[in-house]
Structure 1
């Protein structure tokens, strides 16, 4: 695992929807939280520029910065880790934190095999990004999470109230934190 002081409980995930509020959201997060930079919607040059703006702010607040991209790009950009589908985390190297996106038992098994450092299990609740799509119930979320061999981060419709309802230590949000 990458060298981080402690594994963050709270993670902010970037998205086109929350871009305008990211600076304020990063400043409000408790020191040492996590930030996952995606910004798939931007052209390459703009994506790089926006990453460095936000990563600088995140680092000033002591946040862990994870990039949704390849390990090579994460190292070039100075990220602490990568985020993506479990199979995208291979080959395993110990210098980067590896966060796997998982939605079902098969993907949890892949994350276990790939040695992911954490898994973002979603959708815990209904989300604006996937209106009408089925979500995991708290019971199903817990049933799936118990099979992970790493910390599980709840994602999907999450905010502080839902994290309390789920009674889950690690959680992430797009809209719920911005």
Structure 2
């Protein structure tokens, strides 16, 4: 009896889980199709047939595992961010920090990965925060001159790198964001 084809949903999820686990464990530079094939019990040839590069395989795995993210409108930027980060903090079977670091490393080495990551992954996370920033600017909570990209990057980076810490979401919102917003409020 043969193996289940890679395009079967359960089999594909098994493969993508192996991809993310390998990325988190070894980083991008040491990531290779041999490691994934062994972990997922698949042939390297079948992987290359569907995904011609490790960048494309990793991107497909990430896209398949993007969480459903809310677009809250809690009335304040701080509470919108708290709800977005809580959605990101839902239990995940993956090493989020390891994956994030692997993507950063790989994006510096591989222009294809950087492009794919920006187009398919980054937008999925940043769009909700960008909408929250735009609303906060319209309400006068944040100044128009604020660089939203830097703020969003800071929020995402801090969350991902400290996501295993107890109370990190409240720490980001109450200990960093709320005091910052208080210095920006327009009268």
Give TM class, smaller chain: under 0.3
More strand by share: 1
Task: Work out which of the two has the higher radius of gyration on C-alpha atoms and give 1 or 2.
Answer: 2
1 or 2 for the larger relative contact order (CA 8 Å, sep ≥6)?
2
Instruction: Return the TM-score normalized by structure 2.
Output: 0.25
